[in-house]
Structure 1
Amino acid sequence: MWLAHAKFTVGVTGVVRNDAGQVLLLKHRLWSPERPWGLPTGFAVAGEEFPDTVVREVKEETGLDVRPGRLVRLRSGYRLRVEVAYEARYVGGELRIDPFEILEARWFAADALPEGMQELHRQLIRGETSV
Structure 2
Amino acid sequence: MKRVVARLWRSIRGPLQWRILWCVNAKFMVGVTGVVRDDAGRVLLLRHRLWPPDRAWGLPTGFALKGEEFPHTVVREVKEETGLDVEPCRLVRLLSGYRLRLEVAYEASYVGGTLKIDDFEILEARWCDPDALPEGLQESHRQLIAGISSA
TM-score, structure 1 length as denominator? 0.95
Q: Which has the higher helix share?
A: 2
C-alpha RMSD over aligned residues: 0.8
Task: Render the CA deviation track for 1:77-99: whole Å, top value 9, x for unaligned.
Answer: 42000000000000000111001
Q: Which has the higher strand share?
A: 1
Q: Runs of 4+ in structure 1 displaced over 6 angstroms? A: none
Q: Is it true that 1:18 corresponds to 2:38 in the alignment?
A: yes
Q: Is it true that 1:52 corresponds to 2:72 in the alignment?
A: yes
Q: Which moved more, 1:29-38 or 1:2-11?
A: 2-11
Q: How many residues align?
A: 128
Give the aligned partner of residue 109 of structure 1.
129
Structure with the bigger RCO (C-alpha within 8 Å, sep 6+) is 1
- Taking the aligned partners of 1:125 and 1:49, their CA distance within structure 2 comes to 23
> Radius of gyration: which is bigger?
2
TM-score, structure 2 length as denominator? 0.83
Q: Percent identity?
A: 77
- Stretches of structure 1 lacking an aligned partner (at least 5 in a row): none
Amino acid at match of 1:90: Y
Q: Counterparts of 1:57-76 in structure 2 under 5 Å?
A: 57-76=77-96
Secondary structure of the corresponding residue to residue 127 of structure 1: helix
